[in-house]
Structure 1
Amino acid sequence: MKLAVIGTGYVGLVSGVCFSELGNEVVCVDNVQAKVDMLNNGEVPIHEPGLKELISSNMVAGRLSFTTDLASAVGSSEIIIIAVGTPSLPDGRANLTYIEQAAKEIGQAIDTYKVIVVKSTVPVGTNEKVADIIREYATVSFDFASVPEFLREGSAVKDTMNPDRIIIGTASERAAEKLTALHSPLTNQITITDVRSSEMIKYASNAFLATKISFINEIANICEKVGANVEEVANGMGMDRRIGSSFLKAGIGYGGSCFPKDTQALIQIAGQMDYDFKLLKSVVEVNSDQRFNVIRKLEELLGDVAGCTIGIWGLAFKPETDDVRDAPALDIIETLLARGAQVKAYDPIASSNFERNFNRSEVKYCQSAQEAATEADALCILTEWKEFSNIPLSSIQQWLKSPNLIDGRNIYREEDLKDTPFAYYSIGRPRMNNGVRESNPVLSF
């Protein structure tokens, strides 16, 4: 098939590239000429494993191209996929400016029947609004559909090529048949539903996963107080098929471009319908507070952090991405600086993106994990890059001024810490001092 993908962010770029890998002829559209030039030169604006190689091979095969000419791309394609950003407004609502502009330009460009697909995450009712905008300008018939994405940054190519399911929301049998044919090489788990339910499935899915993360983090906080181990608790819970083991890893909370944005948007959607989504509000509140556990643990170890040097390993919100949007490191470093600490930070690939938030006069950006840890009063692990877990604790001990380690991602095991001098605080697990687990609290009934 011939496809035009409007928007070359994570969703648009990965989707377009993967559709070309399936044998379709895909043109990706972006209104930033520099970005299009970069892509046409084989450079990739985001870090995503496997993406650069797929772009190169499909461009060579003639199935993939990039342009700023939306009208030409729309005119030559049978399916138009809208994948522009819908960032949060200050009140939490989704900003639909870019999707409305795309709809207007598509309406002005179509001259034959097309299937218009909204892949961007949008509030319930947006697809109908997009269709109305296109009708204002279009002189030909078209069908529209909602096909939400469920990819994860850091594994986006894998998720796109191996989806759990495909949701197609449309009232058109013709569009449903065409989109089923497009996606059938990926999976036979294809569900056809109405447009509004499709839009809601995306928000409900992300809200539920965010809820699981906040829930296990609350359990982790209780485990610390009663002397239980959250990893053992999560393992036991996950063995129950009704619960499942995914998204039960305790840590310092979720971040990135999806969960924070989508939970806030769903709260706003509910509010606009006069429904108070109390559960999801609590999920957001728990997540916001969880990252400050790092600060609380630091102050238990060091007292006042003013004048202390704190080493930070990890700035991206998760490994295998350079995305720092709503990363826990943002709030943690901001708090440390406000309290007078000096911060030395290292991330394998995300430092340049993080520097847009804190410049080099505020944070010392290091070229290695060793440099960030050297002569620090404490080290905080905020992203679970594999590189960090491969570093021997004996090396970290030599680098640090004092053997104080806050493991916000639980990358080390209790047996790793035995016979070491570390004061070690993790999330939801017993604390260790000088290689010995602290005594369990006395419980009274």
Structure 2
Amino acid sequence: MKVVCVGSGYVGSVTAAAFAFLGHDTTVIDIDPNKIKMIQSGKSPIYEPELDQLISLTIGKTLHAETGYDSVIHADVIFICVGTPSKADGTVDLTYVTQVAEQIASRLNPESFSVIVNKSTVPVGTADRVAGIIKQISGLQAGIHFSVISNPEFLREGCALEDVFFPNRIIIGSESEKAKIIMRELYDRLLKRHEYEQWSETFSFLNQQGKPPAVYFETDSKSAEMIKYASNAFLAVKISYINEVARLCDALGAHVQQVATGMGLDDRIGDKFLQVSSGWGGSCFPKDTMELLSTSQKYGRELTVVKAAIDSNLTMHEYCVDKIRDRLKSLNGKTVGILGLTFKPNTDDVRRSQAEVIIAKLLELGAHVKVHDPKGMELFRTIHSQFQIMYCEKPEETAQYADAMVLLTHWDQYLQLDWRELYSRMSNPYILDTRNVLPHPELIQLGFQVEGLGTS
């Protein structure tokens, strides 16, 4: 089949590379010529493990990249994978989706049937909205010449390739039987794990043959759009809950890791998303929860549980700062080293990360802040140019004359540091481990004062 993916961010790049690998003639469209040049040269425009190799394998064969929309006229399936940022009031800005819909509308082939797929996270009713735009501009009829459907993405940054090739579910939202047939054909090779085994030694993300097959679930477009928001909000609630339990464990003398393990043994609860942290962040959870909450308030059906999770998450960011302040008292003039700026490991995404809030608060209290991240420093510097902080090339440099070290992102690199060297560099050997992953007994033996979250 001929596939087009508009947008070369996480969703667009990963989706396009995957379908190209599966043998579909796939084109990535992006208005940014630099991103297109990177793809054409066999490189990924975003950091995602092994995506460079996958693009390099397929580019010029089944994968193509362009800044124009010429490929739309020949496409069977067109994915809209552009950004949907939040407005100041928490609602969704659909400017990019609308612009893409207009471009697609002017290039659709009236002699064929095209499926336009909302892959971006969009509000309930967006499929109908996009269909209306295309109908108005093109003069073509929905259901006869084209159909707009919802096929939300569930990709975890850092594990996106594993998730796209081994999804636990594929959600298709459409009222068109013709569109459903085309989407079943498109996903057939992925569901059958076409030729995965022969490539499993080349790509580690394909070495997952023990995983159960994906559930292919068809529903209406509005329900599919809602599934995405409801799923992310539920996971955010779960993280906020275990973080609140951690704060209570600190007060009562219990150990949250033991509590989470015991909770996770109940298969009604499960052990996923019960890992304590300084809070959730990134490009999805903050945006999606706020948008869902805003929609619920607009329609008079406020999701009070989601609202509480958002408030609790901000409290968790502040709780980490309070931990440091309780230890150091006044932070005015003190130096704090930060390990990790991305909201999770194995990504360069620092948008709305925990570090953003925590660093801002530390600066407000008069602290000098030194930071390191293996992949996220360039983007963090660009987004937060107002922050007067020191960017360190090596993680050890953040410890120089530091009064406190804070582990925010549990990169593997940080779990293998020479802590004896860091101890010798610090003015005050205090560590706040917000992920409860460091070897606390070993660090204490070296002379560190170590705190976790929910470890009393």
Give the 5 Å matches for 1:189-228. Answer: 189-228=215-254
Residues 226 and 193 (structure 1), Cα distance of their counterparts in 2 relative to 1, 3 Å cut: same
Equivalence for 1:77: 75
Give the letter aligned to residue 18 of structure 1: A
Say which of 243, 249, 256 aligns to 2:269. 243
Deviation at 1:73, TM superposition (A): 1.5
TM-score, normalization: structure 2? Answer: 0.91
SS at match of 1:205: helix
Q: Does 1:421 align with 2:447?
A: yes
Deviation at 1:360, TM superposition (A): 9.0
- Native 8 Å contact 1:381 1:408 kept in 2: yes
- Native 8 Å contact 2:12 2:82 kept in 1: yes
Q: Does 1:173 align with 2:171?
A: no
Equivalence for 1:100: 98
Equivalence for 1:36: 36
Residues 157 and 361 (structure 1), Cα distance of their counterparts in 2 relative to 1, 3 Å cut: closer
1:11-60 Cα deviation digits (max 9, x unpaired): 11111111111111100101122221222122322110010000000015
Residues 230 and 413 (structure 1), Cα distance of their counterparts in 2 relative to 1, 3 Å cut: farther
Q: Does 1:252 align with 2:278?
A: yes
Show structure 1 runs of 5+ residues with no match.
431-445
Q: Which moved more, 1:330-339 or 1:33-42?
A: 33-42
Give the letter aligned to residue 165 of structure 2: M
- Native 8 Å contact 1:315 1:329 kept in 2: yes
- Native 8 Å contact 1:294 1:380 kept in 2: no
Separation of aligned partners in 1, 2:383 and 2:172? 38
Separation of aligned partners in 2, 1:360 and 1:195? 42
SS at match of 1:291: helix
SS at match of 1:186: helix
Give the letter aligned to residue 29 of structure 1: I
Equivalence for 2:66: 67
Equivalence for 2:408: 382
Give the letter aligned to residue 67 of structure 2: T
Residues 360 and 198 (structure 1), Cα distance of their counterparts in 2 relative to 1, 3 Å cut: closer
1:99-130 Cα deviation digits (max 9, x unpaired): 11111111111023211111111110111010
Equivalence for 2:194: none
Say which of 405, 411, 428 aligns to 1:402. 428
Give the 5 Å matches for 1:266-277. Answer: 266-277=292-303
1:385-429 Cα deviation digits (max 9, x unpaired): 111111143232122111111111112144334423222111111
Separation of aligned partners in 2, 1:159 and 1:348? 23
1:152-189 Cα deviation digits (max 9, x unpaired): 11111111111001000011111111101211333351
Separation of aligned partners in 2, 1:4 and 1:366? 40
SS at match of 1:117: strand
Equivalence for 2:196: none
TM-score, normalization: structure 1? Answer: 0.94
Separation of aligned partners in 2, 1:156 and 1:119? 14
Taking only aligned residues, the RMSD between alpha carbons, in angstroms, comes to 1.3
- Native 8 Å contact 2:244 2:312 kept in 1: yes
Separation of aligned partners in 2, 1:260 and 1:125? 21
Equivalence for 1:434: none
- Native 8 Å contact 1:3 1:78 kept in 2: yes
SS at match of 2:441: helix
Equivalence for 1:157: 161
Deviation at 1:361, TM superposition (A): 7.7
Equivalence for 1:125: 125
Residues 416 and 99 (structure 1), Cα distance of their counterparts in 2 relative to 1, 3 Å cut: same
1:188-235 Cα deviation digits (max 9, x unpaired): 510110111000000010000001100000000001111111111111
- Native 8 Å contact 2:343 2:349 kept in 1: yes
Give the letter aligned to residue 20 of structure 1: A
SS at match of 1:116: strand
Query: Aligned residues: percent identity?
Result: 40
Q: Does 1:46 align with 2:46?
A: yes
Equivalence for 1:368: 394
Give the letter aligned to residue 85 of structure 2: P
Equivalence for 2:359: 333
Q: Which moved more, 1:5-14 or 1:186-195?
A: 186-195
Give the letter aligned to residue 185 of structure 1: R
SS at match of 1:292: helix
Residues 253 and 361 (structure 1), Cα distance of their counterparts in 2 relative to 1, 3 Å cut: closer
- Native 8 Å contact 1:163 1:186 kept in 2: no
Q: Which moved more, 1:189-198 or 1:268-277?
A: 268-277
Show structure 1 runs of 4+ deviating over 4 A: none
- Number of equivalenced pairs: 428
- Native 8 Å contact 2:118 2:127 kept in 1: yes
